Structure 1
Amino acid sequence: MYIAFALVLLFIGAEGLVRGSSSLALRAGLSRLMVGLTIVAFGTSSPELVVSVEAALSNQGDISVGNVVGSNIFNIAVILGITALVCPIPVHRQVIKVDAPVALGVALLLVLLLFNQTLSRFEGVLLFSGIVAYTWMSFILARREASPASADNEDILAVTQSRHWGMDIAFILAGLAVLVVGSRLLVEHAVALAGSFGISEAVIGLTIVAAGTSMPELATSLVAAFRKQPDIAIGNIVGSNIFNVLGILGVASVISPMEAPGISALDYGVMIMFSVLLIPLLYTGRRLHRVEGGVLLALYFGYLFLLWPE
């Protein structure tokens, strides 16, 4: 009951944060395309950020890292899988050549840094520097891609500017407040659930917490698919996966260095597998087909079958 309520709060908080920050960015003169590829993608990852920071401060590193690893797996396998089943996804060339390889490289970097099962403040600074560099690169590429295709993406995003900047600030502050409350409820009751059923914090973080904090990404991708213009779904998911590792674990480990002994080689291996698999799936015809979406979902359920008996 409390976990479901916490997930609703996370969804509402993320919606407020994305709406306010997007409107404020448009007011500052940024294009809708740039807003969508950066602020919206990062904003839908705000539940993961708040939950992982809260878990790190509570010395629950397995939940913090498991949330990110599980979210990255869930984003590719479930969200892209479901979106492709709803409507085959056309893929922008930049995603294949730049963003998907960056997401794979970031996943490999995380596995390397967590080889000793810890993330230090120095490693957190390194990760956070990476998200700053990636964001800057995204802005540069977005400016170069100023073309008629940009207008299509703007329609997909349906990002609007409010009447006054004060409303933007109110949405941002209210969204953050709701996110904080929701994240605390989710972490506390997810840990209690794990203890009552004898399930490890790592498994709870990799599944329930990860799936719950990925709901904004799922909603964004499904809306794009139902509009029959789902190109933004790929950018949203790939951008969120990059931000999850570089931004979320970067910030969380700078605030509080963490240990994550409960995250196994299987979990890291599955994250790498989906990151690798995404590139050829996107490259074939530059479209993610329904059959490929079904394969992604089947592989995810296979992962759950291996994970839960532990």
Structure 2
Amino acid sequence: MIIQNFIGIAFSLAILIWSCNYAIKNSIAIAQKYKIRDIFVGIFIIAIGTSLPEFAATFQALQFKSEGIVAGNLIGSNIANILLVGGIMLFPISKLKILDQDKSTFLFFLIFSIFFFFLIIFDITIDIKLAIVFIFLLIVFFYYELKKPIDEEISSTIVNNQPSYLLALKIIFSFLVLFFSSRYFIEFAKNLTELFGVAETTIGITVVAFGTSLPEVIATIISIVKKQNNLAIGNILGSNIANIFGITLIAVFLNSEINYFFLLTMIDKWLFLLTSLMFFTIIMLRLAGKILSIALILCYLTYFSYLYM
């Protein structure tokens, strides 16, 4: 049983890596063809695609009445994206190159993260009315980002000659493969943890959150290898926004309201806020390098270890 699960994890991970690479390759082609800002592609195309596993995990958890996994996945995925994925992203970079026009994007992220923190710290129930406010904020954010001027660097790139519909189909196909490979990865990983008698909320914060963050990890590594740093940054930012909006809205529209945050510890809640502040500071000060990278990854490993103590 244990060997079968390990084989399943390895096989699904291999497919996951391939699908991420294929998605990024075609997303870059879309950006070049239509001269779209790299960070916008990272936030709204790659991030949504790599967040599909989080959405799937939330949907499945709600079907099985596993509220602890829903709450743990939401918070755990955001923490993993910043500490683990962000740490990996910063390792080969000496200094971040963030345009002044993109700083407002990260300010929105920080403000909304603080707002969401107050919802979870006071265990406030999120209902349909509040969900509609979330949707409105997301539309405003999307419109505002789309209206920003195009980067000069993008206008000088080589334009891809493939038809737009073909590129779109390739991206959709890669996201579907990513979705199913991530789903099976989570299933195999969850089976292993259950064999060792791990608590449900801990599974949500660690195994499910880490498993559903794997697409972000792989997408970030591939983006860095392809020297598309802004895609990686946009992926982290967009994934966290997609997690908050997506997981919350799925839970609300399936259950009419969500109030699972009491299942989280105060450490989980405060770490969510602290990592959001940390990410904003790193971006604003354009910090990077191996020391910061290792520090972030060690913080994540320490938190991961603490949950299993």
Aligning the two structures, in what range does the TM-score lie when normalised by the shorter sequence? 0.7 to 0.9
Work out whether 1:56 is the aligned partner of 2:62.
Answer: yes
- Equivalence for 1:124: 131
| One-letter code aligned to 2:68 | D
| One-letter code aligned to 1:295 | A
- Equivalence for 2:153: 149
- Equivalence for 1:31: 36
| Cα pair 2:17 2:218 within 8 Å, conserved | no
In the alignment, the residues of structure 2 paired with residue 22 and residue 263 of structure 1 have an alpha-carbon distance, to the nearest angstrom, of 38
- Equivalence for 1:264: 265
Range with greater deviation from structure 2 (69-78 or 16-25): 16-25
Deviation at 1:276, TM superposition (A): 0.8
- Equivalence for 1:255: 254
RMSD: 3.4
TM-score, scaled to structure 2: 0.79
Range with greater deviation from structure 2 (10-19 or 63-72): 10-19
Give 1:77's match in structure 2, choosing from 83, 98, 116.
83
In the alignment, the residues of structure 2 paired with residue 225 and residue 18 of structure 1 have an alpha-carbon distance, to the nearest angstrom, of 11
CA gap of 1:171–1:161, structure 2 versus 1, over 3 A, is farther
Matches within 5 A, 1:67-146: 67-94=73-100, 97-114=103-120, 115-116=122-123, 118-141=125-148, 144=149, 146=150
CA gap of 1:105–1:88, structure 2 versus 1, over 3 A, is same
Q: Which runs of 5+ in 1 are unaligned?
A: none
Pairs aligned (count): 299
| Cα pair 2:182 2:211 within 8 Å, conserved | no
In the alignment, the residues of structure 1 paired with residue 214 and residue 275 of structure 2 have an alpha-carbon distance, to the nearest angstrom, of 19
Deviation at 1:168, TM superposition (A): 3.7
- Equivalence for 2:275: 274
Deviation at 1:64, TM superposition (A): 2.2
CA gap of 1:53–1:123, structure 2 versus 1, over 3 A, is farther
Work out whether 1:220 is the aligned partner of 2:219.
Answer: yes
| Cα pair 1:101 1:279 within 8 Å, conserved | yes
| Cα pair 2:42 2:233 within 8 Å, conserved | no
Q: Which runs of 5+ in 2 are unaligned?
A: 1-5
What SS does the corresponding residue of 1:86 show, helix, strand or coil?
coil
TM-score, scaled to structure 1: 0.79
Range with greater deviation from structure 2 (103-112 or 65-74): 103-112
- Equivalence for 1:295: 295
CA gap of 1:8–1:201, structure 2 versus 1, over 3 A, is farther
State the Cα deviation string for residues 101-129 of structure 1 (Å, max 9, x = none): 22222222333333327543333333233
State the Cα deviation string for residues 75-97 of structure 1 (Å, max 9, x = none): 11112212222222413134873
What SS does the corresponding residue of 1:287 show, helix, strand or coil?
coil
Q: Percent identity?
A: 26
| One-letter code aligned to 1:31 | I
CA gap of 1:166–1:239, structure 2 versus 1, over 3 A, is closer
CA gap of 1:64–1:25, structure 2 versus 1, over 3 A, is farther
